[in-house]
């Protein structure tokens, strides 16, 4: 019986998670693990098309949430579930916590509706009835919205979410904090307001503590 590992990376825009996705992939590969690196929204041809719509077009919050979950369903079935079944380490740049944080807390969309969609979308054949596919570990890169905004400024043309206010990102961060409080065992909070090497050390420690990296 092979055991895959599912790790998601979360945080507000500008928190600096993405470089650590690649570095962690390299660390696992160095220990002869097969790694699938992917992202949300996206990760399949269909979900990447949905990504470009949802990151660029204006739409109401329900449409936005439905597109996020539609992309997720395709991504789960086409990429994540097959990779976990092969025994891969799956490193996913954002997953459902982002929907709760951005669409739920950021936009103010109904959290109970999101929880309903979560349970529909993350019910998968590999798991017993009543169990949802969730990451084994979520690394939450926590950074003050003001600092993240300074990091993003001038980096490149901002997309729909990156153009949001500091207030919006304060709500998004509160959303992540709430998700972590509800499922503490799954989360590791990474203090992202440190030099890159120190952040990386914390990332590796979180994975090592769980016995997943030597
Ligand atoms: P991001 O992960 O930051 O990628 P990049 O670094 O290439 O910009 O971009 C994804 C954006 O989508 C980000 O602003 C958060 C948003 N998002 C949601 O609002 N809800 C979701 O469920 C997901 C997965 C992402």
Q: Please give the chain's pLDDT, 214 residues, in tens.
A: 468 999 999 999 999 999 999 999 999 999 999 999 999 999 999 999 999 999 999 999 999 999 999 999 999 999 999 999 999 999 999 999 999 999 999 999 999 999 999 999 999 999 999 999 999 999 999 999 999 999 988 778 889 999 999 999 999 999 999 999 999 999 999 999 999 999 999 999 999 999 999 9
Ligand 1 probe mutation, 94, 104, 151, most atoms within 8 A of CB:
94
For residue 93, the CA-to-ligand 1 centroid distance in Å is 8
Contacting residues for 73 by C-beta, under 8 A, at least 6 apart? 121
For residue 1, the CA-to-ligand 1 centroid distance in Å is 34
For residue 106, the CA-to-ligand 1 centroid distance in Å is 12
Q: Answer for the pair 84, 125: CB distance below 8 angstroms, yes or no.
A: no
Q: pTM for the complete prediction?
A: 0.97
- Atom 23 of ligand 1, residue of closest alpha carbon: 98
Contacting residues for 142 by C-beta, under 8 A, at least 6 apart? 11, 15, 173, 176, 189, 190, 191, 192
**Cα separation, 128 vs 133, whole angstroms:** 10
Q: Which atom of ligand 1 is nearest to the CA of 162?
A: 14
**Cα separation, 170 vs 1, whole angstroms:** 43
For residue 86, the CA-to-ligand 1 centroid distance in Å is 27
For residue 214, the CA-to-ligand 1 centroid distance in Å is 31
Q: What is the DSSP string of 25-85?
A: HHHHHHTT--EEEEESS-SSHHHHHHHHHHHHS---HHHHHHHHHHHHHHHIIIIIHHHHH
Q: Answer for the pair 50, 70: CB distance below 8 angstroms, yes or no.
A: yes
Cβ < 6 A, ligand 1 pocket: 13, 18, 40-41, 55, 68, 93-94, 98-99, 102-103, 161-162
**Cα separation, 141 vs 17, whole angstroms:** 6
For residue 41, the CA-to-ligand 1 centroid distance in Å is 7
CATH superfamily, domain 5-208, is P-loop containing nucleotide triphosphate hydrolases (3.40.50.300)
């Amino acid at each position: 019986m092979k055991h895959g590992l599912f790790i998601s990376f979360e945080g507000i825009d500008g928190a600096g998670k993405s470089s650590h996705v690649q570095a962690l992939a390299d660390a696992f590969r160095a220990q002869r693990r097969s790694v699938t690196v992917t992202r949300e929204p996206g990760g399949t041809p269909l979900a990447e098309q949905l990504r470009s719509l949802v990151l660029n077009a204006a739409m109401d919050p329900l449409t936005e949430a439905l597109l996020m979950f539609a992309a997720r369903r395709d991504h789960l079935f086409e990429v994540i579930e097959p990779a976990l079944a092969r025994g891969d380490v799956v490193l996913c740049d954002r997953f459902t916590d982002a929907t709760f944080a951005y669409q739920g807390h950021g936009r103010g969309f109904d959290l109970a509706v999101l929880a309903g969609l979560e349970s529909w979308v993350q019910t998968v054949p590999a798991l017993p009835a009543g169990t949802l596919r969730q990451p084994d570990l979520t690394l939450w890169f926590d950074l003050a919205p003001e600092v993240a905004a300074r990091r993003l400024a001038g980096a490149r043309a901002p997309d729909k979410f990156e153009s949001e206010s500091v207030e919006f990102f304060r709500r998004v961060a509160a959303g992540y904090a709430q998700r972590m409080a509800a499922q503490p065992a799954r989360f590791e909070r990474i203090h992202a307001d440190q030099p890159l090497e120190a952040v990386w050390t914390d990332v590796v420690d979180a994975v090592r503590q769980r016995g997943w990296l030597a």
